[in-house]
Chains A and B, each alone.
Chain A
């Protein structure tokens, strides 16, 4: 394992080294010390490497991730794994707002709580939150799955497209065009697989499923009040 200490080198040095790794690199295991809330740590990775960050990180950690596995042993700031394409990002603590924003693929696991706007505009990522999420989570979520083992704040799934949302706890309120849907056997099987992949213990049968009522897709004069 290669240890990189941010007390001795800059974030730019770290990210450049990770970006410069060739496709057939043997330097596949990395450990980052003293993150101290720095922004954009391990952003833009494109190789199937593993990066363990020991401490709390700032904004946009592991943003645009492709193929890499990034583990944050601490809390993270705004926009963790934003625009992730593939790979896995795991936060052992809590995440600030907009976790997994616009992410196209991969798996984002937040073992603690995520705050507002978790999964905003998600485009295919799977997000599993061990705790609760804040208000406006899943806002305009297009596709992918958001699993919340705790509670969800106000306006869950506002203006949602085709993403699927599963919540085990209470939902404070649903946003415009987001409705509860029936949960079938194939949903339970998919949710079960996702929870297993995320390493989070929960019984899929305790979850409720939410998704789009598909009434805001096109302008309809009878729905003018909802816009």
Chain B
């Protein structure tokens, strides 16, 4: 069992409170996922010639500054590093692929949680409320964010197995459910040049959608393709640079509730995570239909 939440702000005036609202939503899903929690937040855009990476190392005293210095020397560019518990957000005045390549070659012990111009990813073990406090999620502003609370049933409770999963710049996916054809899909994606970091079925889904988007599919087109190619149970919520999407499989065993006002769109596994959003009493509230693609994008 897991919990999923997502909040996509249509009204820019609300952006200052993104983290505050998402935190309440995430903590509301504690009973569905007390083992670990993760969020992806879209905020603080980098400059046009910059990118940012969210990195993780289990050691809270990891030598982040030295890594930052090495990265700057290696790529011959400016590097800014912000440490948050056992995560670091590294802003690099270089190409994102080059930065990832350098990190993989020189610091394979680091895990790259997310990368792009806008998205930062924080995930950790513990109760959602603890994770929210540890990374200061409540005070984060931004345009959209998605979160996941995990109750592991088939693989270990580790940061690596926590959601969201990232597979392309500024793209992330959270999943409630289980895929039955992930081994074949993983092989299929490997043959097309994708590398995997975990044995998690949700990572396969993230890389599948990244593959479709990389082929030039729009967000709705990528999700439509997923309905044909992904077999199993799923409620997905996905974030991209300027988009937000929800998809349930045709059987629709895994729960989902959507709510929308003029100011925001919110998704959660259960209504109780939406119950405290401002204006929810006048929101349109519905259960997303099985095998129907729901997407929103920033204008």
- State whether B252 touches A36 (Cβ < 8 A): no
Q: Give CA–CA (A94, B156) in the complex, Å.
A: 37
- State whether A116 touches B285 (Cβ < 8 A): no
Residue B165, interface by CB 8 Å: no
B contact residues around A56 at 8 Å (CB): 271, 275, 285
The one of B252, B275, B287, B290 in contact with A37, judged by C-beta atoms closer than 8 angstroms, is B275
Q: Give CA–CA (A56, B271) in the complex, Å.
A: 8
| Residue from the set B270, B271, B290 with the largest chain A CB neighbour count within 10 Å | B271
A56-B275, A96-B255 known; A77+B290 contact, CB < 8 A: no
The one of A36, A78, A94, A134 in contact with B255, judged by C-beta atoms closer than 8 angstroms, is A78
Residue B274, interface by CB 8 Å: yes
- State whether B271 touches A97 (Cβ < 8 A): no
Residue B196, interface by CB 8 Å: no
- State whether B271 touches A37 (Cβ < 8 A): yes
- State whether A38 touches B272 (Cβ < 8 A): yes
A contact residues around B252 at 8 Å (CB): 97, 115-116, 134-135
Grouping DSSP codes into helix (H, G, I), strand (E, B) and loop, the A interface class, with mixed when no group exceeds half, is loop
A-contacting residues, B243-289, CB 8 Å? 252, 255, 270-276, 285-287, 289
Q: Give CA–CA (A59, B270) in the complex, Å.
A: 9
Q: Give CA–CA (A183, B276) in the complex, Å.
A: 48
Interface code A20-38, partner B: CB below 8 Å = 1, 0 otherwise? 0000000000000000111
A56-B285, A78-B255, A94-B287 known; A36+B270 contact, CB < 8 A: no
By beta carbon, the residue of chain B nearest A153 is B290
Chain A residues in contact with chain B, CB under 8 A?
A: 36-39, 56, 58-59, 75, 77-78, 94, 96-97, 115-116, 134-135
A-B contact pairs, 12 of them (CB 8 A): A36-B275, A37-B270, A37-B274, A39-B272, A75-B271, A77-B270, A94-B287, A96-B255, A96-B287, A116-B252, A134-B289, A135-B252
